[in-house]
């Protein structure tokens, strides 16, 4: 049995729902934050996710940092050596989707060994009439970037666990790969 | 006096703390004298482990075999209990693709009862340590 620990950074434009997503995950879907508060600095959410079909688990340390700080030096410090990335956009905002490229680039620049498992999450699917980002378009981009793709509605509490379970699984597979490498060294 | 590998569990040494543990790659692997077995870190740095000699020893040469370790700090204590560690060695290792990092250090002021190894950072998400050995002499038993 092994319990891994992963630093998960939560990235994306302000108001896409990063904090709401992290909080609903933390509270097992019992808590939707109705009023918006701008995150300043960083919030930390810690939660253990079991890896299916193994006795193993991954403890996610989710660093929820302010979305307005794309260009701040503060973020460089908070994002040091990330293990996995949760990249969030708002399906009603074309701009928040376009900016994902910049967030991804910034996160990858900090990743140890140059690899960073990640997921792309399109949030606010409940606002169907205002949708501005096509699912297929997002999926194609995510695929090209090696990211797994999800759509969620934090408000309706739909699919909010899946991205984090996927991150835990990806990190676990990365660990298994590295252990295989360690075996070949002698 | 006979020079031995002071770290070996067969000489009575013991790993008394490790911040990571995979049942399949436990910290005992650090001091079993076999570089084929290893201890892995399981995510996020720093990570550390402490070796207890159960004796007063004087170390002359220290060898660390590892993979993906970037910055390594080693502290030592001469107390009976694992307290009062003092900074001893700090090294930036070089990544050696596909083969073990083999770091040999001729050391000064090597009297110790405990060694504390802190992996400050790594070249990847995980690092492994395959063997720790310390050549030197036993000064006295702990009374």
The CATH number of whichever domain residue B34 belongs to comes to 2.60.120.260
Q: How far is CA B109 from the centre of its chain?
A: 16
Classify residue B74 by its DSSP letter: E
Select the residue from A48, A54, A185 to test the B interface by mutation, using most B Cβ atoms within 10 A: A185
Query: Beta-carbon neighbour count of residue A71 at 10 Å?
Result: 9
pTM above 0.90, yes or no: yes
SS (H, E, C) A13-53: CCCCCHHHHHHHHHCCCCCCCCCCCCCCCEEEEEEEEECCC
Q: Tell me the two tokens of residue A23.
A: 């909080």
Q: How far is CA B35 from CA B3, B62, B67, B101, B116, in A?
A: 20, 15, 11, 11, 20
Quote the ipTM score: 0.94
- List pLDDT tens digits, range B75-91: 999 999 999 999 999 99
Which class does domain A3-185 fall in? alpha beta
Report the domain count for chain B.
Answer: 1
Domain range for residue B110?
A: 4-141
A1 touching B (Cβ < 8 Å): yes
What pLDDT is attached to residue A119?
Answer: 98
Instruction: Let me know: does B34 contact B118? Beta carbons within 8 Å.
Output: no
What pLDDT is attached to residue A59?
Answer: 97
Q: Tell me the two tokens of residue A45.
A: 């959410």
**B1 pLDDT band (50/70/90 cuts)?**
low
Instruction: Let me know: does B119 contact B44? Beta carbons within 8 Å.
Output: no
Cβ-nearest to B125 among A2, A59, A83 = A83
Q: How far apart are CA A96 and CA B57, in angstroms?
A: 61
């Amino acid at each position: 049995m092994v319990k891994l620990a992963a630093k998960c950074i939560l990235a994306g434009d302000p108001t896409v729902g990063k904090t709401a997503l992290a909080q609903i995950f933390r509270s097992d879907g019992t808590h939707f934050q109705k009023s918006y508060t701008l995150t300043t600095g960083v919030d930390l959410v810690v939660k253990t996710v079991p890896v299916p079909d193994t006795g193993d688990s991954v403890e996610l340390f989710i660093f929820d940092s302010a979305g307005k700080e794309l260009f701040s030096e503060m973020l460089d410090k908070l994002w040091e050596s990330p293990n996995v990335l949760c990249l969030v956009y708002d399906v009603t905002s074309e701009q928040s989707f376009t900016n994902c490229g910049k967030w991804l680039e910034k996160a990858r620049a900090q990743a140890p060994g140059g690899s960073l498992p990640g997921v792309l999450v399109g949030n606010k699917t409940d606002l169907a009439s205002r949708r501005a980002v096509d699912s297929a378009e997002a999926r194609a981009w995510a695929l090209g970037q090696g990211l797994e793709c999800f759509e969620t509605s934090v408000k309706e509490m739909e699919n909010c666990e899946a991205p984090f379970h996927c991150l835990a699984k990806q990190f676990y597979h990365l660990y298994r790969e590295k252990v295989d490498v360690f075996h070949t060294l002698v | 006096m006979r020079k031995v590998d002071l770290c070996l569990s067969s000489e009575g040494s013991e790993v008394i703390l490790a911040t990571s543990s995979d049942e399949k790659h436990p910290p005992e692997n650090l001091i079993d004298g076999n570089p084929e077995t290893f201890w892995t870190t399981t995510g996020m740095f720093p990570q550390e482990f402490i070796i207890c000699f159960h004796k007063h020893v004087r170390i002359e040469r220290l060898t660390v075999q590892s993979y993906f370790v970037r910055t390594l700090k080693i502290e030592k204590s001469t107390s009976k209990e694992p307290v009062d560690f003092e900074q001893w060695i700090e090294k930036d290792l070089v990544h050696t693709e596909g083969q073990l990092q083999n770091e040999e250090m001729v050391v000064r002021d090597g009297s110790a009862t405990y060694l504390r190894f802190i992996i400050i950072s790594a070249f990847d998400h995980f690092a492994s340590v395959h063997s720790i050995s310390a050549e030197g002499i036993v000064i006295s038993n702990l009374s």
